[in-house]
Amino acid sequence: MGIEIERKFLVSGDAWRNDSGVLYRQGYLNRDKARTVRIRIAGGVAFLTIKGKSTGATRAEFEYPVPLEDAQALLALCDGPLIEKTRYVVLYAGHRWEVDEFASDNAGLVVAELELSAEDEAFEHPAWLGAEVTHDARYFNSNLAAHPFSAW
């Protein structure tokens, strides 16, 4: 079984910005609190992802590649508007950060995610890191599809 241990933070400033951005489009086939089923196109590749309910910063995660044409058709079946964002990879102090700059109804929101090997794993906080929102459900991508940042 796949496990994801992820911490999520708001971002301030542009010191994190680089040229590694990739456009992401994703939608949700199921946004139940006990499980989410997501289809995602990242650049020219696509994935189907199933995530379980979070316990702390940990949850089950299963991700499978799917043909791009299938992913495009599945996006049309998604519940609610799609999430559109550009993801940047930022290497900092031995960790790989993923910084998501949201567009469309979530424009103005920038969030950094860090996957860890344990919930208590230590890591250095970059200067551009803001408040932690790991446990704030408003920032879950599945919730941003239903309740976009622009409507807060």
Q: What share of the chain is helix, strand, coil (3-state, %, to 5)?
A: 15, 45, 40
- pTM, whole model, 2 decimals? 0.94
Residue 80 in this model has a pLDDT that exceeds 90? no
The 3-state secondary structure of 61-109 reads EEEEEECHHHHHHHHCCCCCCCEEEEEEEEEECCEEEEEEEECHHHCCC
Q: What is the architecture of the domain spanning 3-151?
A: Beta Barrel (2.40)
pLDDT tens-digit series, residues 100-124: 999 999 999 999 999 999 999 999 9
Q: What percent of the chain has pLDDT over 70?
A: 99
**Residue that the structure tokens 């995602």 belong to:** 40
Active site residue 64: no
Q: What percent of the chain has pLDDT over 90?
A: 91
Residue 62 in this model has a pLDDT that exceeds 80? yes
Q: Which is the catalytic residue, given 28, 64, 92, 139? A: 28
CA dist 83 and 38 (Å) reads 11
